[in-house]
Amino acid sequence: MKALNAVRDNPQLVIGLAIILMLVGFGLLGPFLVNPRGARVGTATVDQPPSWKYPLGTDTVGRQVLPTVMVGIPLTLRIGLLAGAIGLAIGMLFGFVAGYYGGLWDILLRGAADVFLTIPGLLILVVIASTLHGAVNVNTEGLVVAALAWMYPTRTIRSQVLTMRERGYVHVARLSGMSGPEIIVKEMMPNLLPYLAATFVAAVAAAILASIGLEALGLGPQNEPTLGMTIFWGLYYTAVLRGLWWWWMAPIAVIVLIFIGLFLMAAGLDRVANPRLRTAR
């Protein structure tokens, strides 16, 4: 009954989760229905429009677009999850330390986040990825994107901790002899779980967007068909000018679905974490 009420009261979260699970299921279970070998170069007739034989057509290097997108979905999501998880972990550490302890820790950690936020993130990522050009794979790209995925979580988590540390149950825990780390882990983190979940989803979306930006510039994994690299190869072979719309439209449509799903999930989790939104409804 509670689950049904949750579905009724928070359709955004349910719809967003359903979209992401559908895409993940297509990426993981698709190989049982579509031969993933079609994502390899030279396995199909080049530049074929969508047909019964090639449902989403083929590209100029002889790859079928359907299996290419199917293989690219989990690769792109892996980059986002890896970078988002690392960024959130660092952001949690910095945010809780800066917000709870304040003083010099707050000045240093908040200052570092503020400084990096003023620098164009894509520019830094381009410089880092350029130095690794030729040695970039999916995991390496995830680490590169994670290098700048911690600033926003640090600021938002710090702001939440600043308000929480003045609440009564934190004062009671402090007077009972609990140490700072114990208060953070046992008292603060459980109360921030919905907010941290929403922050993680937002971090994953930002990481995917950053990775697609790098890949569209040709700085992604050259030998792995992520969604961004599929778009890059379409631009490289002038698919737009040559009218090969199926080559670039399919990965863009999947990317749009990913962002819609993540946006709805973040909005739904924000409603769980924010009592004002629940009350407004």
Tell me the per-residue pLDDT of 155-179, one tens digit each, with 9 for 90 and over.
Answer: 989 988 988 888 888 888 888 888 8
In a domain, 14, yes or no: no
Domain that holds residue 96: 53-280
In a domain, 30, yes or no: no
Which CATH number goes with the domain that contains 174?
1.10.3720.10
In a domain, 41, yes or no: no
In a domain, 252, yes or no: yes
Span 184-212, pLDDT tens digits = 888 888 888 888 998 999 999 999 999 99
Q: Report the pLDDT averaged over residues 218-239.
A: 90
% of the chain at pLDDT higher than 70: 93
In a domain, 6, yes or no: no
pTM, two decimals, is: 0.88
DSSP 243: T
Sheet strands (E) in 91-204: none
Which amino acid belongs to residue 16?
G
- pLDDT above 80 for 23: yes
User: For the ranges 22-26, 54-58, 119-123, which has the lowest average pLDDT?
Assistant: 119-123
Positive/negative CA dihedral, 222, 82, 214, 208: positive
The total of structural domains in the chain comes to: 1
- pLDDT above 80 for 129: no
Query: Who contacts 171 (Cβ-Cβ below 8 Å, separation ≥6)?
Result: none
In a domain, 75, yes or no: yes
The reported pLDDT for the residue numbered 208 is: 93
In a domain, 46, yes or no: no
The reported pLDDT for the residue numbered 6 is: 53
Which amino acid belongs to residue 196?
L
- pLDDT above 90 for 90: yes
Give 25-28 contacts, CB < 8 A, sequence gap 24+.
Answer: 26/70, 26/73, 27/70, 27/71, 27/73, 27/74, 27/77, 28/74
Mean pLDDT of the chain: 86
- pLDDT above 70 for 238: yes
The reported pLDDT for the residue numbered 187 is: 85
Structure token pair of residue 7: 């579905």
